[in-house]
Structure 1
């Protein structure tokens, strides 16, 4: 039976996911079998397990930090917003349906047994489980049907560490206010306070910590600095979208769609020397990039209408006509075709025209494709990115629609050798001169893929590409998890954490 500890935050983006990942790494380094757990996650960045099941990206990151294979047991409920009022509800990795907030609110208690089963299975397999809360645990209008914060802590008998984000201001008020809104039984479960994202001299902070401890009667066990680690982001709160600065030798523009998903597909390109990766949402921001990427989205049709209405589509088409390479992934791939049809109302319903850059049509279906894949870029890729030819790739597909060519002479982008562990010979994606599209998430992560892409873009500009080095994403991530663990270990009283873990509640 595992010992459990839970990290809750006073608000969204307080750094819970990163703290949980860091603790998972520390416990692994200390010789324990450790697993992460989050009862309910809301995010558009998701992942497909080896079993073909869908889970939140944050728990995948935490599992990697723990050195274990990601499992839907770690995230039994995933909500993926489809628009401002509805979400796709995924239970144990399978789509349960689309629901409004009210519909889901009424159903939440029925989901608790599934959460308990998942947690109990992990409980039997590991020494320590590090549980992550969601948003604020003190939303008094939602506490009655809570399944992810204090209700989960009580189910798991997990002592709670409460984290506040000092970078956003008002950290003492948010910590004290959260404790005030807890009832007596909830307050008793909070065993330590963490201040996160601190910049400056800790000695100046100490009087405030002393006053806070006296006020809430809970010890402050750590002040975590603003850590410079590169860990995959979970959702649209990422700071990657706001990065500004001078453009490097190669300028890559990713269209920042309103419902952008799985933007971690392009993180590897950020690490390439001389490359600037920008997320843009207006024609003015687009400027003159060397490559335009249309990313995944949870609602392809509505996001296509968005870029059509704000002028980005017309600008992308002009760039395409001038020879700028365009690369679409998943929903972005669907947009590149001539037509998108939604006969079952999976997204917006009806039929709309695509951008017309690839001779293909997409039909949205009732069943979601969820599969891991291995393969290689086709040996005869056309156009500017022909250097990708023959390079191995590995990733996953997760989409509701199927995209079929209407011109059967269209060139193939990739060939799949393996689909969810089964041998296969299947084509994945299309290319037409300098227009490329595929459903494969992680398509640039394979060794040599990002290097070949950047090399091709440099050659097109007549620039030297001899110094471009390959990025091993697996090794890079391991280094970052170790840096995260080091930063947390040096700034949290781990002896107290172990005492809290041992005593429980």
Structure 2
């Protein structure tokens, strides 16, 4: 039977996902078969498994840290918010409907059987299961029907490590308050505390460490330093959405419109990581400024986000941007918005797109999820500079788009399991381009070709050699492992888990 360890946090974005990924990598390095698990994930950043099922991106990343393929059993419940009070429920990799928060709360008990079925099936193949909680276990209004924090830990009998983010301030209060809001049996399940994102001299922190241990009767197993791990995150609180290089120092500037239901923003991590590129997520037309490339990203609610985009005045701004000859790129929902019309077949709602691509989109109830690879074939305009480049990624979308007969498709794709059958993806007209492929820039050669073409438009050259997503990810995993081995008591963790070393 697999040994277990569960990571819970004092709040969202405390570092649970990366800490779980670090454990997956360390256990793998130490010779164990290990898999990640998160029963319920709420995120608009998702991934597609090799068999075409949808899971949270964090669990896909953790699986890669563990050296195994992403598996839908690692995240049986995925909630994709599509309004302020509701979400699409993706159960075992497939959408099963939209639910309000109240409706979902009533459904959680019956979902527990699916969670446990996935967990036990996966655990039977592993030596160690690394379980990630969600949000905070001290959400006392949700505790009665909890299936993702202490409720799950009790059912699978998992010891818990509680992690807090000192960078936000108030970490001792957060750790103490979280522990003390729990029932006694739940408090006993917590075997250690971790303080994350520490900057400064550890000696100044030590009196607080001793006191929090005395107050909670829990040992502090590690103080992890603030480091940048170039790994994908899925949280809407991600620093990536706020961080940008100083524009004055940048050779190239890229603006991504921050839609209210922005999804899969990890598509643009390779651009953000590139030297001398300033990528920013903008909320108003005025922020676009003198950008060299404008990107419309994916959206969980394309029609609603299109209405927001128009209300903010982005529609005029995007058209003017394209008219200036500067390139515009739409990915997934952003691609659909660049077209002529968008129509929801079930509701009958129809909206005019931005009219920059000869594309009409119809939304159906069925969702397309597939891993794909291809070759860019754009034959004219700005995007022809990328022709011949190999791409690899995945599609997640509800709509089907019909391209005008005279339009130039962007690339030819084939599903990973059927490499012989190719199909057209996307569309280009002049400097405007759209594609359904998430992960378009994961291959370094594609990103380099784009940045060189953008620089050439300005009479400049882009001199840097880039790393692929896989190369950057492996560096991130190595740094995670090194950080944990240097700043966390792994010997005690193995003892807690009942694993003899």
Specify the TM-score bucket, using the shorter chain as the normaliser: over 0.9
In the alignment, which of 304, 307, 310 is matched to residue 308 of structure 1?
Answer: 310
CA distance in 2, matches of 1:220, 1:227: 19
Displacement of 1:385 in angstroms is 2.3
The answer (yes or no) to whether the contact 1:271–1:471 under 8 Å persists in 2 is: no
Displacement of 1:470 in angstroms is 3.7
Q: Secondary structure in 2 aligned to 1:411?
A: coil
Unaligned runs of 5+ in 2: none
CA distance in 1, matches of 2:405, 2:396: 24
Find the counterpart in structure 2 of residue 376 from structure 1: 375
Q: What is the number of residues matched between the two proteins?
A: 498
Q: Secondary structure in 2 aligned to 1:148?
A: coil
Equivalent residue runs for 1:57-206 within 5 Å: 57-206=57-206
Q: Secondary structure in 2 aligned to 1:68?
A: coil
Find the counterpart in structure 2 of residue 492 from structure 1: 488
- Provide runs of 4+ in structure 1 moved above 4 Å: none
TM-score, normalised with respect to structure 1: 0.96
The answer (yes or no) to whether the contact 2:370–2:415 under 8 Å persists in 1 is: no
State whether structure 2 residue 485 is matched by structure 1 residue 483: no
1:354-395 alpha-carbon deviations (Å, 9 max, x no partner): 0000011111001001111111101x4321121210111111
In the alignment, which of 397, 416, 434 is matched to residue 399 of structure 1?
Answer: 397
The answer (yes or no) to whether the contact 1:250–1:274 under 8 Å persists in 2 is: yes
User: Which of 484-493 and 47-56 deviates more?
Assistant: 484-493
CA distance in 1, matches of 2:415, 2:499: 47
In the alignment, which of 410, 415, 425 is matched to residue 412 of structure 2?
Answer: 415
Q: Secondary structure in 1 aligned to 2:124?
A: helix
Find the counterpart in structure 1 of residue 326 from structure 2: 324
CA distance in 2, matches of 1:11, 1:408: 51
Find the counterpart in structure 1 of residue 266 from structure 2: 264
TM-score, normalised with respect to structure 2: 0.97
User: Which of 314-323 and 36-45 deviates more?
Assistant: 314-323
User: Which of 279-288 and 106-115 deviates more?
Assistant: 279-288
State whether structure 2 residue 387 is matched by structure 1 residue 353: no
In the alignment, which of 434, 440, 456 is matched to residue 437 of structure 1?
Answer: 434
The answer (yes or no) to whether the contact 2:77–2:115 under 8 Å persists in 1 is: yes
1:7-50 alpha-carbon deviations (Å, 9 max, x no partner): 10111111111110111111111111111100000000001111
Find the counterpart in structure 2 of residue 446 from structure 1: 443
Displacement of 1:328 in angstroms is 0.3
Q: Secondary structure in 2 aligned to 1:385?
A: helix
The answer (yes or no) to whether the contact 2:244–2:279 under 8 Å persists in 1 is: no
CA distance in 1, matches of 2:324, 2:286: 18
Displacement of 1:156 in angstroms is 1.7
User: Which of 299-308 and 413-422 deviates more?
Assistant: 413-422
CA distance in 2, matches of 1:290, 1:447: 19
Displacement of 1:250 in angstroms is 1.1
CA distance in 1, matches of 2:178, 2:252: 46
User: Which of 416-425 and 159-168 deviates more?
Assistant: 416-425
Displacement of 1:422 in angstroms is 5.0
CA distance in 2, matches of 1:271, 1:164: 27
